[in-house]
Structure 1
Amino acid sequence: MTQETRTRIVEAAETLFYEHGLRSVSVDAIAERAGVTKRTLYYHFYSKDALIAAYLEMRDRSTVERYRGWLGRPALSMPERIVMMFAALADHAGKPRWRGCGFTRAAVELAGQPGHPAVQMAAKHKRRFEAWLEQEFRSGGMAEPQRLARQVALLIEGAIAQMLIHGDVSYAVAAGEAAATLASGDAGHLRRASQPTGPAGEPMYTD
């Protein structure tokens, strides 16, 4: 029952924090939504900051898994998979309750407090997400997976920001096209690097 109550509190916090921001949501509102007393909430979380950290930790796992599903299985080429991932992001962003990336929003909202648990958790998540992209690109045979992962992560972040500003999901589609172009160039570099070379180091093209 204790774990069930804790989970209910975190889920209530996730809904309210994501919809309204970290600062504007009170502990009272979270307790009311979770159906617990304020005292019970503080029994599980010694402070609002601790609850914020728990909320972001829960989103960390679900966010990476969501993008993993969007990227799909390696039956298609990496550029095609990337286009599909950004198309799924565009579809997701078109939902009425979409508010962008909870981690970016938390970091921006608390930018003046770099030591805040939420800012640290956001940084940890972004590093983990980029590392996941790198692993996927490495498995997909990309020549420079670390570089490509950083470029694609930047395009995702930019697309999310533009969609929030303009309310236009076509920014995700455009970012996906750019990311696929980068991946195609990376794959082309891999093909060139694997070509046998002659005495002068020039590629020896074969049929």
Structure 2
Amino acid sequence: MRGSHAAPRARILDAADTLFYERGVRSVSVEDVVGLAGTTRMTLYRHFTSKDDLVVQYLRARADRERAAVAGIVAGAAREEWDALLDLGAWIEDVVSADGFRGCPFLRAAAEFGDPGHPVRRLVAEHRAWYRERVARMVAAAGVRGPDAVADRLVLLRDGAMVGGALRDVGTVGALRPAFAAVLGTGGSLGTGG
């Protein structure tokens, strides 16, 4: 978390990120956030119109970091898109195996906000659509047949790894890179024949 000399908005977002991720959105009050940020309710509401707005901005910051990480993976594997996909699987494996991992912040937020029209759910849907489309483009560039179906399976593997990691069932996620390779190598059939 940033020090007390950071701008109030940044401190509030950092505090929200820590608390929302550790405890869940609904269980964290505005008072909890301003207490950790070392600021006041008035300052929070000067920067965010509501707690829901703060949640959306927290998730937007998380989405930006994830997009930057994926861009870095793609840039680092400039040799071939296939390598980038395998590296994506390895990166997800590292994320879900890390100390303090509590699950996908987007899936967790979606579970707390049931209304698909709520701004939080809309942001989650937007981010998931971006992720799936990005994976589909990577799959197509790698020359794998049926990129949409393969991307759907890779996203499903990612979601399963996120749940397994949150439950600390690291054994279920310890082979994500090979699982990505298997899906890519079979055109997405997951070895179900045909």
What TM-score bracket applies, with the shorter chain setting the length? 0.7 to 0.9
1:27 paired to 2:27:
no
Post-superposition shift, 1:65?
2.3
Post-superposition shift, 1:156?
0.4
CA distance in 2, matches of 1:19, 1:176: 27
Alpha-carbon deviations, 1:67-110, whole Å to 9, x = none?
343464142571x5434332332222232211111000000122
CA distance in 1, matches of 2:45, 2:104: 27
Q: Select 1:47's aligned residue among 39, 46, 50.
A: 50
> Which residue in the other structure is 2:174 paired with?
173
Output aligned runs, 1:32-181, within 5 Å. 32-70=35-73, 72-75=76-79, 78=82, 80-111=83-114, 113-165=115-167, 167-181=168-182
Q: Select 1:18's aligned residue among 16, 21, 42.
A: 21
Post-superposition shift, 1:17?
0.5
> Which residue in the other structure is 1:184 paired with?
185
Post-superposition shift, 1:128?
0.7
| Distance of aligned partners of 1:117 and 1:18 in 2 relative to their CA distance in 1, 3 Å threshold | same
Post-superposition shift, 1:146?
1.9
> Which residue in the other structure is 1:4 paired with?
7
TM-score calculated relative to the size of structure 1: 0.78
CA contact (8 A) 1:163 1:169 kept: yes
What RMSD, in angstroms, separates the aligned Cα atoms of the two structures?
2.2
Q: How many residues align?
A: 182
Larger Rg: 1
CA contact (8 A) 1:86 1:172 kept: no
CA distance in 2, matches of 1:171, 1:33: 35
SS of equivalent to 1:97: coil
Alpha-carbon deviations, 1:127-176, whole Å to 9, x = none?
111111112222222232222111100110011112222x1323223343
Unmatched 5+ residue regions in structure 2? 1-5, 189-194
